Amino acid sequence: MADTIIRERRRAKAAVDGRDNGKTTQDASVTRGSAVKSALFYVGLAALSAGCVYFLQDFFKILLEPWIDFREHALHGVSKFGNAEITADVERRDAIVDAFKYAWHAYERDAMGDDEYHPISHQGTNLSSAGGIGYTVVDSLDTMMIMGLDDEVERGRKWVAEKLSFEKDASFSTFETTIRVLGGLLSAYHLSGKDALYLEKAVDLADRMLPAFDTPSGLPLSSINLAQRTGISDGDNNGWVSTAEVATLQLEMRYLSVLTDDDVYWKAAENVMAIIRKNNLRPNLATIFMDPNSGAFIPFDIRLGSRGDSYYEYLLKQYLQTAKSEGVYREMYSESMDAINKHLVQQSTTSSLIYTAELLPERKSGNDMLWHLVPKQDHLVCFLGGSLMLGATTAGALVEEVSVPPRPAELSPEGRRDWRVGVELIHTCMETHKTATGLAPEIVHFRIPGDGIDTHMMDMPNDWYIKGARPGAPPPLDARYILRPETVESLFIAYRLSGEKRYRDHGWRIFQAIEKHCKVSTGGYAAVLNVDELPVTLEDKMETFLLSETFKYLYLLFSDADVIPLSEYVLNTEAHPLPIFMPSFRTGFS
């Protein structure tokens, strides 16, 4: 009886254990299935993250470089080790000289002394009814000196001596007159071996321009009547002044003070920088307008193109001009580059092109302000690539003399970041030359998700496009190429700092495109109305910066390193080289 009870209990227990084992097996199976799914999810997430990091690694490095030390054997964009030898490419250099002479001789034949030249109609025009102030002649003098065109220089000097007068009762741009005429005269004075004629003219012009600074804040007005010596406010923009324009007079005024031993020019220009430093917005991105009465920034667009560009350019160049003796400019420059990298540097969706966007304000209720990022980049911004590389090897250097090309250990994390961004921006600017003509348009927009462009249609752009360009329609202003120099400016600087042959090759292709599409058969060069249309339609105007900047930078690109060395000169925003010096007097920012 007892045995029977024990056997029954054992059978019952075995049955229960069986059920429990089945449930345990089922639970284990479910757990294994969940674990597999979870593992697959995390593997997929890791793969996606790794893919993003791989394809966007340059962009992530740009963002993180100041905080993470990415040790590399060579800097980004540098293909070989060792010291580069910068020697002349004589054949290409001489081709640039021939092109300059072709343009200059046509101007000299048709419009000598006039401010602007129209090569198709064979005539010149002046900026005012009172007459011109030698825009083209003075803007071209130092280019001819650098190229060794002695006969052309002598004829240009003769015109300056006999016919250049600033006693003109008319309104002239304070900014343009400074960078083109004052800058051109100062550079000609230096390169000519101190020909007194050029300095006398420079002093006369600067004295006539100083009254533009007579405002409540000290910010100069947009225009000046040279005969009456009175400043004229901008009637089109509420009397505001452009940030780039008021902050791009300093190299010229400061050098003139050194030459004359009169600090009146220096103080006027330096006061502008003190106002900007005091009133600048955070995070150190300047809007494009300021109030000349209060000195305050106007809540307006933030961009690196028109009305903003050369403000950032001159922050670095003022630091370099005085042999790095004014640390405040290095500080202002570094803060601005940090802000640009953080807020304006973007990456295109398809080919990962690095570009700079614009910030547009939108006022909300009360005093709240929202800023919208717009994927638009002017051709003017193409100066920034070379400028960043120059800043990386100077303001961002850890050693006194940086190698060519630089070694990573010679640059700070910020310097390596700016070098990388500079290289990538030049690459992007060269991508915008991939048009029917090989010339870059005035303005491009970059693709962003939800931009409304049908990607399924043929010939739709993957990365950038010219806004408003439609087959059969009149070309938008954005589609023009007006002989601008900014890309070749960056190519020149990049080649001098790296020795990378591709920068010369890029420059040569641009020059060939100018020769093919902009050259006028009877002399001179003209702007192209639509870079994506063949045959081209030309606009009857040859900008003075073709002679002062575009051809000069191309010539320097193919010259020896000792022709206008970057260690001895700063070039103003019109490419007029001014020597680096140590101030003989204590400056406000010393």
Residues marked as catalytic: 442
How far are the Cα atoms of 385, 402, 410, 413, 455 from residue 398, in angstroms, in the given order?
21, 8, 5, 10, 47
Pairwise CA distance, residues 507 & 93, whole Å = 11
CB 292, CB 213: distance < 8 Å: no
CB 115, CB 135: distance < 8 Å: yes
CB 129, CB 551: distance < 8 Å: no
Q: In 131-242, which residue ranges form alpha helices assigned H by DSSP?
A: 135-147, 150-163, 174-176, 183-191, 196-209
Token pair for 481: 């190429």
The one-letter amino acid at 335: E
User: Phi first, then psi: what are they for 150, rounded to 5°?
Assistant: -65, -40
| Measured CA angle at 414 (ends 572, 433), to 5 deg | 55
CB 373, CB 445: distance < 8 Å: no
User: Phi first, then psi: what are they for 552, rounded to 5°?
Assistant: -65, -45
How far are the Cα atoms of 186, 429, 525 from residue 522, in angstroms, in the given order?
33, 31, 9
| Total Cβ atoms within 10 A of residue 24 | 10
Pairwise CA distance, residues 498 & 389, whole Å = 9
Task: Say which DSSP state 25 is in.
Answer: H
Pairwise CA distance, residues 298 & 286, whole Å = 9
In angstroms and rounded to an integer, the radius of gyration of the C-alpha atoms of the chain is: 30
**Adjacent-strand bridge partners of 117:** 124, 542
By CB atoms closer than 10 A (0-12, 13-18, 19+), residue 192 is middle
